[in-house]
Amino acid sequence: MSPTPIRSYSYRWVVLLAFMAVIFVNQILWITFASVTGPAAAFYGVSDLAIAALALSFMVVYIFVSIPASWVIDTYGLRVGIGIGAVLTGVFGLLRGLGGDSYTTVLIAQIGIAAAQPFLLNAITAVAARWFPLGERATASGLATLSMYAGQVTALALTPFLMLATSIPAVLLIYGVAAVIGALIFLIFARERPPTPASAAGADERALVFDGIKLALRQRDFLLTLLIFFIGLGVFNGVVTWIEDIVRPRGFTPIQAGLVGALLVGGGVLGALILPALSDRYRRRVPFIVLALAASTVGLAGITFAGQYGWLLAGAAVMGFFLLAAGPIGFQYGAEVAYPAPEGTTNGLLLMIGQVSGILFILAMDLFKDPATGSMTPALLALIGLMVVGVLLSTRLRESKMITGA
């Protein structure tokens, strides 16, 4: 019997774009209130912490839903797994818009949207593996990750303007309609798999999900990758969450802080376009992970010590470009070194450890803030030290045999 031909179909880009659409709107819904915390707290009659809890709920829910979501993706396929995330995003996004004048309704809907996130993000490497040849997978993962960052930047930049032009409930309804559209795009255009495989026979055969967890956690390089993600995602979540508190003691305004945060994430959009593509081109993962972590540590130092606004923006751009670009490369590397563990499982484990560290780092940074001046410099210095540890750990990674032997 002749072997099944290997072919890359142009429809792979349609599937990827449909997948990116629902991720994009899900991330808008996540960080909707980040740039309007004060006005939102006043509108609902709650504290700033209660508004922050709307975003923090995503991290908490992720911890509990991640493994079940990965099991669904790896057991029932992309259409079912991502489809659940798309439906949850559309339904609860619209519910949040329709009940946008009630904080309780918004919180309940936000938890429903948060439950959708693992079904989407845990499938990034699975979509790349199912539809793309090995030499394009980091690029595909990078583009999917880019849609995350684009959604975050859109929410940070657009929400204040929409709120000034309309009202908070109207903004939530606009985003709710967008969520329904994004969900429909995926459900209409996504397909489970191409007619013929995109890679060599057996390259995408994976273990069962719980066996895959055991396999992944026995792999030295995957465990190192988990530690690196624990540090990198924790640092990013901590800095983005407290960016206004970080720059306020230096005399910068909330508007300036918002621009720093937007540039931090916006730099990641550009980085996710460039570094994963270079990783695919040169068929190497480790050098780009090391470079990204080292350069983002320099950017974090700029954020920590910059007294002039221009240098602060430069530090945010460098940190965002390299640290967020390391994500899709790390996801693909983790899937390769943990083979035959399922992509959804490895992706979910890496993201879950990042959510755990994000919660810990956010709380620790607030705890170690200088009570007299409000300065977060001591906490930032600790983060720089952790990033240096991450760089050292990355130098111990070994290139995956899957990419070098392709």
Q: What is the pTM of this model?
A: 0.78
Question: What pLDDT score was predicted for residue 205?
Answer: 47
Write out the chain's pLDDT in tens, 406 residues.
Answer: 445 566 778 899 999 999 999 999 999 999 888 777 778 888 999 987 788 889 888 989 988 998 899 889 888 989 999 999 999 999 999 999 999 999 999 999 999 999 999 999 988 878 888 888 877 887 888 788 889 888 988 887 788 889 889 999 999 999 999 999 999 999 999 998 888 876 654 445 444 556 667 777 788 899 999 999 999 999 988 888 777 778 878 887 767 777 888 888 888 888 888 998 898 888 889 999 999 999 999 999 999 998 899 999 999 999 999 998 888 899 889 888 887 777 777 877 888 888 889 888 988 887 888 887 878 899 999 999 999 999 999 999 998 877 666 5
User: Tokens 């290139």 sit at which residue?
Assistant: 399
Question: For residue 81, what are the contacts with CB-CB under 8 A and spacing of at least 6?
Answer: 69, 72, 73, 74, 119, 122, 123, 126, 344
Would you list the domain boundaries of the chain? 10-205, 208-406
Q: Which two tokens stand for residue 119?
A: 């079904």
Question: What pLDDT score was predicted for residue 202?
Answer: 45
Question: What pLDDT score was predicted for residue 192?
Answer: 86
CATH superfamily of 10-205: MFS general substrate transporter like domains (1.20.1250.20)
Question: What pLDDT score was predicted for residue 209?
Answer: 55
In single-letter form, the type of residue at position 152 comes to Q
Question: What pLDDT score was predicted for residue 211?
Answer: 64
Exposure string over 287-306, b if 16+ CB within 10 A, otherwise e: bbbbbbbbbbbebbbbbbeb
**CA–CA distance, 360 with 295 (Å, rounded to integer):** 24
What is each CA distance from 276 to 237, 260, 264, 330, in whole angstroms?
21, 24, 18, 9
Quickly list H helices, 248-376.
Answer: 254-282, 286-305, 309-337, 343-367
208-406 CATH choice from 1.10.420.10, 3.40.50.280, 1.20.1250.20, 3.40.50.150: 1.20.1250.20
